[in-house]
Amino acid sequence: MSVVIVGAGEVGFHVAERLSNEGRQVVVVDTQPERLDYVQSHLDVGVVEGNGASPAVLERAGISGATLFVAVTSVDEVNLVGCMAARGKPGLVRVARVSNPDFYTEAGRLRPERFAVDVMINPERELALDTLQLLQSTAATDVAAFADGKLQLISLQVADDAPIINRSLAQVTAELGQDPVLIAAIERDGETLVPDGSTVVRAGDQVYVVATNEAVDRALELTGHHHTELTRVMIAGGSVEAFYLAQLLEEHKVHTTMLVDDRPRAQELAEKLHKALILTGDATDIELMEVEGVGDMDAFVALTDEDQTNILSSLVAKHSGARQVVTLVNKFEYVSLARRIGLDAAVSPRLSAANAILRQVRSGSVTRVATFKDTDAEAISFTVSSASPVVGTPLKNVDFPDGTIVAAIVRGETVIVPRGGDQLQTGDTAIVFTLRNAVEPVTKLFPS
């Protein structure tokens, strides 16, 4: 696959990194040479300086031989015109990052035959969807769904009183028996471990657990948490992301309170939302937050336009007793910082957009990729072909690269959380959790 990416910001960089790690030929286009220098110094990709909406620039980037075009600048119009200008091989897939909600109404909907856009990604909408998934998973700090939603890969911090503390994974697995739960990775002291049976779990570990929907409560129990129903949520901020999340919570019949510091925006939201309670106020005001009952909320979500305000208001909510706190941060480097300073989970519109793009553009045997904020690993879903050397061999006998584990097998309508004696069959979907430096050799084990 040959890929042209327009936009060398955080979204473009993230997409380029993932696709190049899979062995794709990637060229990144941007008007700012300093961004291209950064991309070239960190990734094995080509770069072209210029306007990504220009046919001449796209030709220099190799669009005529490309099979995928991704336009992810911060300007919707550049992304849309870039898709119109992109002319590649038959079957070229064109993806545009488009934030303006007007383009998603029925009257403003973009027609592919007019704008040549195959997939539109709305970062704010994607972040709201990711946030809802986190809220529904209670104690999780990261969530990825597979097998049409039948399987979850969730990140959980091991509590001080968790029953699996100081026990090896072999002991934990023996106790689980046939329960469809598997600890696929552990993040400890900034290092990601793909464990084996001798690995011992410690309090404070961040574990990445694979479980069927029916077994999620069992995974929570093992790590010292319990399931709680989501009935009341407070949202700080009147951003587009806050509006989308409030809409989704209304659809799920969750009582929602919004705290907005801009009176005209609060009035606008009150006219658009039918059930949410809209209040005017500053989410960093400790007295106001306590008066409005933040400590009684199932969750508090900070979705203002300012990272500092989000972090501070989240700390206030956590101190006041909110059971779950989710914080929007725009800077990638703040995402991993959030948990270290006591926040439950962080979300990023740029990371949500990049992951949404990657979900749409898989080819060959790769059908899905999920990346996680606090770990040097990712989960990849492969379709198992008859050409794969792993077919028919017990997983414990397969020579997988270091830092790799088959976390789940989907066979028809059945989801299997495997043990060492299980085997992959042609037509299965294998969900593999692997360190990023092992992505390329793992991919070679699953040819299309």
Adjacent-strand bridge partners of 257: 234, 277
Neighbours of 312 (CB within 10 A): 17
User: Please, where are the H alpha helices in 177-257?
Assistant: 216-222, 240-251
In angstroms, the Cα distances linking 17 to 20, 27, 441 are 5, 11, 16
What is the side-by-side strand order in the sheet with 25-30? Answer: 46-49, 25-30, 2-6, 68-71, 93-97, 119-121
In angstroms, the Cα distances linking 237 to 85, 100, 223, 268, 310 are 37, 18, 32, 13, 9
pLDDT band at 113 (very low <50, low <70, confident <90, very high): low
Q: What predicted TM-score, i.e. pTM, was given to this entire model? A: 0.78
| Lowest mean pLDDT segment, chosen from 9-13, 90-94, 163-167 | 90-94
What is the predicted pLDDT for the residue at 112? Answer: 59
Mean pLDDT across the chain = 88
Instruction: Bin 74: left if φ > 0, else alpha if -120 < ψ < 50, else beta.
Output: alpha
Q: What is the mean pLDDT of residues 54-81?
A: 94
Question: Residue 151 is encoded by which pair of tokens?
Answer: 């399987």
pLDDT above 90 coverage of the chain, percent: 50
pLDDT above 70 coverage of the chain, percent: 96
* Cβ 298 vs Cβ 232: under 8 Å: yes
Length of the chain: 448
In angstroms, the Cα distances linking 269 to 114, 166, 257 are 32, 50, 12
Q: What is the mean pLDDT of residues 375-383?
A: 84
Specify the amino acid at residue 318: K
Give residue-wise pLDDT tens across range 271-286.
Answer: 999 899 999 999 999 9
What is the predicted pLDDT for the residue at 128? Answer: 93
Question: 2-121 and 232-345 share one CATH topology?
Answer: yes
What is the predicted pLDDT for the residue at 277? Answer: 95
What is the predicted pLDDT for the residue at 73? Answer: 96
Adjacent-strand bridge partners of 445: none
Architecture, CATH, for domain 232-345:
3-Layer(aba) Sandwich (3.40)
Give residue-wise pLDDT tens across range 193-246.
Answer: 888 888 999 999 989 998 888 888 888 888 998 877 889 999 999 999 999 999
Per CATH, is 353-444 categorized as 3.10.20.30? no
One-character DSSP codes across 312-355? HHHHHHHHHT-S-EEEE-SSHHHHHHHHHTT-SEEE-HHHHHHH
* Cβ 404 vs Cβ 411: under 8 Å: no
Question: Residue 31 is encoded by which pair of tokens?
Answer: 């008007």
Q: Where are the domains of the chain?
A: 2-121, 133-222, 232-345, 353-444
Adjacent-strand bridge partners of 186: 193, 207
Superfamily of domain 2-121: NAD(P)-binding Rossmann-like Domain (3.40.50.720)
**So what CATH class is 133-222?**
alpha beta
Q: What is the mean pLDDT of residues 3-10?
A: 94
